[in-house]
Amino acid sequence: MALRGPAGLGPGSRRPLDEAVAGVEGREAPALVAAGGAPEDDEEDDGRGRGLLRWDGFSAWLHCVCVVGFDLELGQAVEVIYPQHSKLTDREKTNICYLSFPDSNSGCLGDTQFCFRFRQSSGRRVSLHCLLDQFDKDLPVYLKKDPAYFYGYVYFRQVRDKTLKRGYFQKSLVLISKLPYIHFFHTVLKQIAPEYFEKNEPYLEAACNDVDRWPAPVPGKTLHLPIMGVVMKVRIPTCHDKPGTTQIVQLTQQADTNISVILPTVHEVDIFRCFCPVFLHSQMLWELVLLGEPLVVMAPSPSESSETVLALVNCISPLKYFSDFRPYFTIHDSEFKEYTTRTQAPPSVILGVTNPFFAKTLQHWPHIIRIGDLKPTGEIPKQVKVKKLKNLKTLDSKPGVYTSYKPYLNRDEEIIKQLQKGVQQKRPSEAQSVILRRYFLELTQSFIIPLERYVASLMPLQKSISPWKSPPQLRQFLPEEFMKTLEKTGPQLTSRIKGDWIGLYRHFLKSPNFDGWFKTRRKEMTQKLEALHLEALCEEDLLLWIQKHTEVETVDLVLKLKNKLLQADREHLPVKPDTMEKLRTHIDAIILALPEDLQGILLKTGMT
């Protein structure tokens, strides 16, 4: 007998979550306090009495909301953190301060929206909203939360104000979240930021109250999210959705007078607008992102840099980009030295920068995209050329893709003609984005299907699974064995594009994206084996088994079966609910067949 499974949270571990989600409705929020300020005593007591359950609704969507202003003596400073119990380390606050304002050279007058991503400080305690992480398992892999990073969604306002010493009003409203729902949070900020700048803290407090009453971000459900008199209708994708489709459109056929904003997507950016200056080279950029090559986007403003970086990361969807990426990166970032050092090769990361200083600092990076101002929808910028890196010497270097990279695949002229025709016919940017997104999707799928097919062949046959032995191991991934499969079942079956596919695969197998993808697939397949092992156990006559074995062996079996249940619950194994119920029934029946003194001990074991 070799049943395994470490102890964990137990089958009942989801109950606090249900209570937390159910308890979101009908709460009141504590008063807003400035960063470093103290809440009133009665508010503090009330918050302590209810514990963090009071903010579980808010925490499911946001970590906190920050207001960053400019102080003549201190420079950028966090003026407000809300809710007040939100924890940010000094390092995280510093990163938020500098990343929430455009570089001074950007000249962003008026209102500007952009996004940044920063590393979470090590040693941070996991908060209670980790209970909601069970929803992560139903998300597509590219939308799963990364525990090591936060996103910052910024609405920055800079307007002339003669009453201020500096002559300008400069302030950012920033949403800090683990969720990579770029389009959704930018839409939220559009709804609340302009009024916040007029009405200040009481308005922000009311907006956060609304967020705390939102339902949990459950993938696949149509969610109605009210915020300050506006109701947003959204649907978070699931891992079961067909890639490249959105289901919110099908859900909006019935008119609903209460709906103010319908979001067709929670996470996608306008990919064509971002690729517009470089769409002649979009296939080469797809290769660079797929291979996890170090890449810098030099742009005139944080809006352009963040949108372009996010579009690059998105172009290999449904594959997840497993390396680090920074939509907006500054010289004050805590990883600045780590990422700009010349003592080692540039890391696998995509950086979006606006400070001209980076043209010199990152001159040694192998691939640099320099873009001008992104044109409004309907306009087409001059197409940039691929240039040699040695030409990127001055701060006023012309827009272009600076690289000596030679693509493995031949350029697909058909997609270029299709997009150029769309520009000539003044096709809307949204329609162009659909075409470009579908092209990238088909390219990625053609590339990944042969890998999926080979990895599926590493799975042991179901008949090799025995209830009385440990689940069998997956076969080893052998690169050369995989390469041999490409002759008959390679990407040529689904893609018209010619070129050195073999060379592209060899390079990919050494990349962080392959490493991340294969680890994810291996984990899924191992969990499937564990689930099949559980099903095999349920089909056994365990009462007959215990008649042939000693009391000690029977107790050992009960403990191992309980461990299996705990593991299935903790790791969200793909086990049918009736299988779990059947196993619990088996355990109860075995325990009842034992002497009373052992029954009492075994019934308590694993229940706490």
Are 362 and 483 contained in the same domain? Answer: yes
Instruction: Name the pLDDT band for 47 (thresholds 50, 70, 90).
Output: very low
Q: How remote is the C-alpha of 19 from its chain's centroid?
A: 26
Report the distance separating Cα 472 and Cα 464, nearest Å.
Answer: 7
Q: Distance (Å, rounded) from C-alpha 430 to C-alpha 183? A: 14
Asked whether residue 427 falls in the same domain as residue 503, the answer is yes
- Give the Cβ contact number of residue 186 at 10 Å: 18
Are 338 and 421 contained in the same domain?
yes
pLDDT classification of 383: cutoffs 50, 70, 90: low
Residue 527 lies in a domain: no
CB atoms within 10 A of CB 39: 17
**CATH number of the domain enclosing 136:** 3.30.450.200
Distance CA(159)–CA(169), nearest Å, equals: 5
Sorting pLDDT into bands at 50, 70 and 90, what band is 276?
confident
* Residue 312 banded pLDDT, cuts 50, 70, 90: very high
Residue linked to tokens 């899924």? 524
DSSP result, 175-231 = EEES---HHHHHHHHHHHHHHHHHH-HHHHHHHHHHHHTSPP--TTSEEEEEETTEE
Question: Does residue 228 come out as left (phi exceeding 0), alpha (psi in the -120 to 50 range) or beta?
Answer: left
Q: How many helices (H) and strands (E) does the chain have?
A: 20, 14
Residue 280 within any structural domain of the chain: yes
- Neighbouring-strand partners of residue 232: 225, 261
Closest alpha carbon to 594 in 561, 560, 549: 549
Q: Which domain holds residue 63?
A: 56-215
CA-based angle 393:398:402, to the nearest 5? 65
Yes or no: say if 97 and 76 are a contact pair by the CB < 8 Å rule.
yes
Helices (H), 318-386: 336-340, 357-361
Residues 150 and 202 in one domain: yes
Q: Is residue 536 one of the residues assigned to a domain?
A: no
Whether residue 405 has pLDDT greater than 60: yes
pLDDT in tens, 63-101: 999 999 987 777 888 999 999 888 999 999 999 999 999
- The pair of structure tokens assigned to 586 is 């088996």
Pairing of strands 222-227, 230-235: antiparallel
Half-sphere exposure of 458 (CA within 13 A, CB side): 22
Give how many domains the chain has, as a whole number. Answer: 3
State both tokens at 185.
Answer: 């949070």
**Range with the poorest average pLDDT among 24-38, 157-171, 285-299, 348-362:** 24-38
Q: What value does the mean pLDDT take over residues 235-257?
A: 66
* Rounded Cα gap, residues 441 and 452, in angstroms: 15
pLDDT of residue 38 exceeding 50, the answer is no
The pLDDT of residue 381: 57
Look at residue 493 and tell me if it is in a domain.
yes
Domain check: are 506 and 549 in the same one? no
| 119 within some domain | yes
Give CA–CA dist 207/184, Å, rounded.
Answer: 15
Q: CA 598 to CA 587: how far, in whole Å?
A: 13
Strand 110-119 to strand 75-82: parallel, antiparallel, or no bridges (unpaired)? unpaired
> Which of 196-200, 303-307, 537-541 is predicted with the least confidence, judged by mean pLDDT?
537-541
Domain final residue pick, 459, 488, 510: 510
Neighbour-count burial for 24-36, b at 16+ CB within 10 Å, e otherwise: beebebbebbebe
Same domain, 505 and 550: no
* Nearest alpha-carbon partner for 350 in 359, 339, 361, 364: 339
Residue scoring higher pLDDT (441 or 578): 441
**Measuring CA to CA, which residue among 588, 580, 601 is closest to residue 542?**
588
Q: How confident is the model at residue 392 (pLDDT cuts 50, 70, 90)?
A: low
When pLDDT is cut at 50, 70 and 90, the band that residue 256 belongs to is low
Tell me, rounded to whole angstroms, the distance of Cα 517 from its chain centroid. 14
What does the angle CA 195 – CA 201 – CA 203 come to, to the nearest 5 degrees? Answer: 45
Look-up of token digits 């939509």: 327
- Report which secondary-structure segment, H or E, holds 367: strand 367-370
Least confident of 257-261, 405-409, 417-421, 524-528: 257-261
For residues 153 and 189, the answer to whether their CB atoms sit within 8 Å is yes
Is 516 domain-assigned? no
Give the rounded percent of residues in the chain with a pLDDT score beyond 90: 45
Residues 499 and 545 in one domain: no
Average pLDDT over residues 548-567: 84
Whether 112 shows a pLDDT value over 90: the answer reads: yes
CATH number where 371 lies: 3.40.50.11500
Q: HEC states along 87-102?
A: CCCHHHHHHHHHHCCC
Average pLDDT, the chain: 82
Helix (H) or strand (E) holding 119: strand 110-119
One domain for residues 462 and 391 = yes
Instruction: Let me know whether 570 and 495 are in one domain.
Output: no
Q: Which two tokens stand for residue 521?
A: 């697939």
What is the per-residue pLDDT across 493-515, written as a single tens digit (0 to 9) for each?
Answer: 889 999 999 999 999 999 999 99
Looking at residue 555, its pLDDT comes to 84
How many angstroms separate the CA atoms of 466 and 584, rounded? 20
Q: Is residue 320 part of a domain?
A: yes
Query: Element (H or E) spanning 345, and its range?
Result: none
Does residue 301 share a domain with residue 422? yes
pLDDT tops 50 at residue 127: no
Q: Are residues 483 and 371 in the same domain?
A: yes
Q: Do 280 and 366 lie in a common domain? A: yes
Tokens of 334: 């805590």
Is residue 136 assigned to a domain?
yes
pLDDT digits (tens, 9 = 90+) for 431-459: 999 999 999 999 999 999 999 999 999 99
